[in-house]
Structure 1
């Protein structure tokens, strides 16, 4: 009685289009672990009263895939900066608006992959009051922001691209309105 040999790979649309060798190479790449990098940022919800409404300054930027995303301003601490100092600086750089911190809003974390590594990012958010400045992206040294806008607090859930940032805004709303 003959021993059964290895089965031939089935022809599926994927194996036909990639070829068996390419599919096996692709599997090895998915199975090999990517190095993980930890990143930390700080930013926040900066608010002002305008014509009886609370407004929040948000920025638009293009993600790595080229899609426009509206998000809260944030960035990496520099040198020995505290998270609060980094949040104030980054908000002012990305929006043109200077602020003062009213309260911490908590942190969010998420994972994403860039070429050759997985990134675990934690972002610390603060509720801030606008105390000066003009809305502009001209002072952003990284040139990540491509637009900036004041948006009514009630309109933010429809405007912000990320669920976790919408949750941070909800925490800010609860602090502002009790």
Structure 2
């Protein structure tokens, strides 16, 4: 047996984090437009995703989603439905993080698209049928499919 196989890496401390966000749609035109955010990964590649962020103490998931969407896109929205929950794991700063994100569908109610948030490199309105092509994460692409069904069912 090799010496390397006998050495065990120390277990990283586990941290649970909860976030909320969602897909905010501008329904004023001929087809719905969704606001996406672009963040640069460690390699400098722009990855598009749905806006989201940490739930603050005392906030509901819905309140956090409305606040985070506004902070990251500049768009204020009203919740019109639930898209679902995603959970995933990652390692950062010597910790194993289990993140749970609650996503909602929102209708744009005001504001102006803006990338002023320091965590956001770009923001864009994207036609609803094209959003899944732009999103970097398959879990979020599945949520956009849920949004399309919610809109179709409510029409």
TM-score using structure 1 length:
0.80
The answer to which structure, 1 or 2, has the higher relative contact order (CA under 8 A, 6+ apart) is: 2
Of residues 47, 72, 82, the one that matches 1:94 is 72
- What does residue 110 of structure 1 align with? 88
Instruction: Work out the CA distance in 1 between the residues paired with 2:6 and 2:46.
Output: 30
Instruction: Work out the CA distance in 2 between the residues paired with 1:89 and 1:157.
Output: 23
SS in 2 for 1:145: coil
Gaps of 5+ in 1: 1-6, 10-20
Q: Where do residues 22-61 of structure 1 align in structure 2 (5 Å cutoff)?
A: 24=4, 28-29=8-9, 32-61=10-39
Instruction: Tell me the number of residue pairs that the alignment of Structure 1 and Structure 2 aligns.
Output: 153
- Runs of 4+ aligned structure 1 residues displaced above 6 Å come to none
- What does residue 145 of structure 1 align with? 120
- What does residue 144 of structure 2 align with? 169
Gaps of 5+ in 2: none
TM-score using structure 2 length:
0.91
**How big is the shift at 1:65?**
4.7
- What does residue 15 of structure 1 align with? none
Residues 26/137 of structure 1: CA separation in 2 closer, same or farther (3 Å cut): farther
SS in 2 for 1:79: coil
Greater Rg over alpha carbons, structure: 1
Q: Where do residues 116-155 of structure 1 align in structure 2 (5 Å cutoff)?
A: 116-138=94-116, 140=117, 143-155=118-130
Of residues 119, 123, 131, the one that matches 1:156 is 131
Query: Which is worse superposed, 102-111 or 57-66?
Result: 57-66
Q: Where do residues 12-23 of structure 1 align in structure 2 (5 Å cutoff)?
A: none
